[in-house]
């Protein structure tokens, strides 16, 4: 099934709103209220996308299921455009290549150039405020426990019982991670959903540290670079050096 391209798919009409970035849009259907998502909101939308030659390349409408995502985790044209919308509103966006996937195809079947999207905003929610940067993020305090590997930790919240996970266990945790300059790089707390994983398939500092915990316990770990991702960033945005994690162990199986 394919949804026919709009009559104006080739270019934005003269009455469209054009932003300094080059994004253009028109309102196709009005919404309700005046509350708009922020760049960090979790949004739920229905959408269809075409290239300017009229070729449809993606559609949640065709799949029959809306999609949810953090608005700061998509192409810049979406991040900017959806922030102009209210719930129930439907807009058509003309997104230039530099705000989408570029002007040349990066792989077969990948859309390129100016892309046209019809987007309907179904709902959105704001993430919780980011966890406060620890006062001792720069270095482990003198009262921290330090293991032979160099891992340091202290207890923030007591747990229950004496059962601790083995290295092969699957665990569910909430966590937040910072670099020692106070920059937060990841947080399940911000996403509002704990994460589960086999304990022997994460960085060595996690494998060692979470094995010291009982259910309900929360600890702060200072993980040296050789037990994490190394002293140098391996790709843009990747944390490096000593990393600090607040980890709460929710369950073990």
Catalytically active residues are 175, 185-186, 203, 229, 245
Helix (H, G, I), strand (E, B) or coil at 215: coil
Closest CA to 212 of 174, 175, 251, 165: 165
Helix (H) or strand (E) holding 223: strand 218-223
List, in sequence order, every beta strand (DSSP E) within 15-168.
Answer: 17-18, 24-29, 42-51, 56-59, 67-70, 90-95, 115-125, 145-146, 152-157
Cα 85 to Cα 30: distance, rounded to the nearest angstrom: 9
Cα 39 to Cα 73: distance, rounded to the nearest angstrom: 9
């Amino acid at each position: 099934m394919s949804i026919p391209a709009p009559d104006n798919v080739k270019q934005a009409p003269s009455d469209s709103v054009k932003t300094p970035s080059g994004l253009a849009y028109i309102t196709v259907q009005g919404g309700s209220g005046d509350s708009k998502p922020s760049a960090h909101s979790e949004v739920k939308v229905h959408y269809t996308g075409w290239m300017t030659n009229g070729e449809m390349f993606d559609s949640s409408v065709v799949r029959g299921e809306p999609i949810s995502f953090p608005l700061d985790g998509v192409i810049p044209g979406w991040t900017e455009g959806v922030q102009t919308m209210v719930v129930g509103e439907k807009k058509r966006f003309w997104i230039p290549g530099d705000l989408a996937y570029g002007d040349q195809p990066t792989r077969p079947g990948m859309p390129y150039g100016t892309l046209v999207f019809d987007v309907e905003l179904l709902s959105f929610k704001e993430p919780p405020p980011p966890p406060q940067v620890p006062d001792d993020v720069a270095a482990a305090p003198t009262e921290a426990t330090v293991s032979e590997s160099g891992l340091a930790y202290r207890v923030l919240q007591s747990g229950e019982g004496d059962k601790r996970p083995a290295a092969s266990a699957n665990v569910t945790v909430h966590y937040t991670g910072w670099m020692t300059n106070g920059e937060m790089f990841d947080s399940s707390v911000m996403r509002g959903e704990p994460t589960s994983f086999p304990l022997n398939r994460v960085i060595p500092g996690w494998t060692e540290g979470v094995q010291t915990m009982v259910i309900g316990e929360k600890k702060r770990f200072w993980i040296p670079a050789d037990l994490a991702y190394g002293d140098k960033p391996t790709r843009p945005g990747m944390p490096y050096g000593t990393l600090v994690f607040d980890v709460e162990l929710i369950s073990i199986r």
